[in-house]
Amino acid sequence: MTAPISPTGPIGGAGSPGGGPSEVSPTPWYRLSPSQTADRLGVELQSGLSSAEVLESRERSGPNELLSEPKRPWWLRLVDQFRSVLILLLLVAALISAAVGDLKDPIVIGVVVIINAILGFVQEQRADQAMEALSTMLTTQARVRRDGAVNEVPSSEVVPGDVVLLRAGDRIPADGRFVRATSLAVDESTLTGESVPVDKDTEAIELPDHPSADGYGAAAQLELAERSNVGHMNTTVVRGTAELVVTDTGMSTEIGRLAGMISADEPGLTPLQEELERLGTRLAMIAGVAVGLVIAVGLLRGDAAADAILGGVALAVAAIPEGLPAVVTVTLALGVRRMAERNAIVKRLASVETLGSTTVICSDKTGTLTLHQMTAITAWAGGTSYEISGLGYGPDGEISPEPDEALRRFVRAGALASDAVLRTGEGGQPELVGDPTEGAVIVLANKAGEHGETLRSEYPRVADMPFDSTRKMMAVVTDDPFGGSGRRLMVKGATDVVLDGCTQMDTHDGVVTLDDSRTAEVNDLMVGFGVEGLRVLAVAGKELASDWDGDPEAELNELVLYGLVGILDPPRKEAGVAIAECGDAGIDVKMITGDHATTAAAIGGQLGLDGEVVTGSDLDAMSDDELARRIGDISVCARVSPEHKVRVVRALQANDEIVAMTGDGVNDAAALRRAEIGVAMGITGTEVTKEASDLVLADDNFATIVVAVERGRAIRSNIVHFVRFQLTTSLAAVGTILVARILDLPTPFSPIQILFVNIIADGPPAMSLGVDPPSPDVMKRKPLGRTEPILTGTRLRRILTTTALMAAGVVWLLAQYRHSDIPKLASTMAFTTFVFAQLVNSLVVRSDGRGVFHRYTFTNGALWLTIAAVSALQVVVVQVPFAQKVFDTVGLTRGQWVQCLSVVLALLLVEEVWIRARRLVWPNASLT
């Protein structure tokens, strides 16, 4: 934590440990003049800190770094893998079984539990390694003035009181007060969500105040976006030069404050974790009842207490699907791998499924739904309106109608009156250095065939007037680029300011007077652009003499208006499609941004977000209850703070929504942590945001979220399938053993046969169900609610029906062969029938009410290979002499095999008849 510098003395003065400057004085830095700021910090701006003062300040404030969450030790993360209710239940059963002298079950259970733990642990380790490899935040350098000289130091070594020198392209290393600024603009989108660079100056901001102890006065805090003389850590200078004196470093910065909010807001259980906890509790109850019944029956029949207890524990083990935790882990791990192939990196296994349950996605606008590349989409020159295609800084795109001389004059002047530079970056992609708005003007010139860099080399500046936030315009003078013999003044800036200096306008027929009617036409255009959420720039100029050598500011009169350009940070092409797909899937998408309401509404409209638009002020006026009532009708929240974002997420959660929050900026991080699943951008996302997220999009593409949703839903569906499959198997085994015990029939399964059923005949098919491809209609279904259980009423009825059919078939065979002269024949028949019934059941549970005889049945090759392999193993177990000794079986005749398979076929036919009959009687009822 950074300790503040005393306002009453130099760097060596006392400060409040661990606090920000506000703990010493209520006066915020933006209310002080540069000289007052320097006085409070005890620094000479011309020479900077001395080496001794730097050491003293660093000792007090620490490194200029954000505190990251300490990683849990590897052994604690390994212990976490054993905290499932099912795992604990299995371990208890294993201990009891071992206590009464049976070591087979405890050994097998222990192996299964250990494998499950290793799988989960390894996957989480791999996710951490992927995040480290994805990190793009390289160590940056800062130019600081110390001991009267300018030096480059690592940003982590910057201390309060340092004077930092900044220019276009530099990342601001810490929070501070600008003490010198020339044509300065800063991109603060990662902090505030504002898509347009913010003009900065050095003037103190005057606000109504009340007396305070330091004599400067105190007032209400301004929003971050309104602090025009303050720079913030990790924001970027896009235009101009500046000197900034550092006031806060590390965790005392605004980014540090947000990082603190993140660590204080711990995430809860995911829907999958909650459901498995509930399922484990239900299984514990079922196992308890089963154990009690078996022990009671054994004691009533006169069995020894130890034998009765051992029988009860064995039945409990049969009732618990040992492979379920491992299958869940493997299914999620495979889902993680497949999602990584599609540019979605998962940090926690359980988070894979959560997206499948998501009901609302709250998305940041800038850089997530939009390109974060300002683009000229419309222009007006010579009295003609032009539409421009192509997005971002790339050269692709056309101008319609075809550019004429009036438009070319307009774009030449605009490009020459810009400072931004467009260059080729890594991977051959265009990269902008400078103001994004100027970048849009240069790209427009390129599309019109007037290349900005070529123009600048042909027409070097004779004089210029840099952009100033007060003037809101810039001007340059060059030799006449329109073909004249003299020089030409060219002005670019805010429309109202530029128009004030215009008396004429350029047309296809030459220069004409800018009379009232033409002025009204221009104003109407400006209003129309504004309604569309466009940022509008005007370009004007006038001829000068060939020997002109004066001050451009003196020539800002009697200008000729060349044209207007409408600029927007455009939506990603794929974002609109992704939002439409979310709508089909029953997922509501909300845009939450720090940008202006008009711009946000325009972008939202283009993306299909047609609900209510509210601002942060509107949210402040609502109580929590009112916000929870209205949030469903709101599509866009504009001008919001990080606290607003968290509040919106909480309002949605109050309505039992499962919320995913996407974003790339620091301002998104707290809400990402609060949401059930946070989705960060891998390329443009800050480290704070990635740390807070559960899922990172490596391609920064909002559309990748739809892929993640589809995969999450497929995984959820697969989990339902194998849970149904394994529970049916377990309950059928329990039912068969109980009924056989009560009816005094032969024991249906020996202990080793139960292990074969649970591990071999149960596990591989369940694993194959876990890798099922997505069902064709998975993105047409409505999302499941927070409390939607894996075992719905319909599914439980299907499980019990299938359980009863399987148990009845096996018990019938036991009854038929109870008096056989061949020992173990009855149990072999029961065992064989049960295994094949399991395999048929794997086809039934994945049919999702379509019926087994459907083309979708054949889309899972892994399942069919598993069925073939288990069938072959069962034949070996029954017919091979060595295997017969191990598994307590006897060989079956051809007729006995037919009898076993006939019972299984009858089970399949009953299931098919039930599905078709239910469709006829209740065509709209759920069959899953």
Burial class (CB in 10 A: 0-12, 13-18, 19+), 335: buried
Which residues in 671-741 belong to E strands, given as ranges? Answer: 677-681, 695-697
Q: Is 179 helix (H, G, I), strand (E, B) or coil?
A: strand
3-state SS assignment for residue 210: strand
Output phi, psi for 351, to 5 deg: -70, -20
Report how far residue 825's alpha carbon sits from residue 210's, in angstroms, rounded to the nearest whole number.
96
Buried/exposed code over 888-923 (b: 16+ C-beta within 10 A; e: otherwise): bbbebeeebbebbeebbeebbeebeebbeeeeeeee
* 720 φψ region: left (φ > 0), alpha (ψ -120 to 50), beta (else): alpha
Polymer length in residues for the chain: 928
> What residues contact residue 332 under an 8 Å CB cut-off, 6+ apart?
123, 349, 350, 352, 353, 715
Residues 295, 648: Cα–Cα separation, whole Å? 54
Q: Is 170 a catalytic residue?
A: no
**Contact indicator for 146, 50 with CB cutoff of 8 Å:** yes
Q: Which of 844, 837, 664 is nearest to 749 (CA)?
A: 837
d(CA 235, CA 256): 13
Given the residues 162, 248, 364, 480, select the one marked as catalytic.
Answer: 364
Cα–Cα separations (whole angstroms), residue 637 to 226, 604, 647, 852: 18, 10, 11, 48
CA distance 153 to 691: 26
Write the DSSP string, 752-803: HHHHHIIIIISHHHHHHHHTPPPPTTGGGSPPPPTT--SS-HHHHHHHHHHH
Helix (H, G, I), strand (E, B) or coil at 39: helix
Q: From 198, 193, 197, 226, select the one nearest 595 (Cα to Cα).
A: 193
2 and 61 in contact (C-beta within 8 Å)?
yes
Amino acid in the structure at residue 919: R
676, 358 contact by CB (below 8 A): yes
d(CA 849, CA 916) in angstroms, rounded, equals: 9
Q: Are 216 and 32 in contact (CB under 8 A)?
A: yes
Q: Residue 406 corresponds to which tokens in the numbers above?
A: 């009036």
d(CA 445, CA 346): 42
Residues marked as catalytic: 364
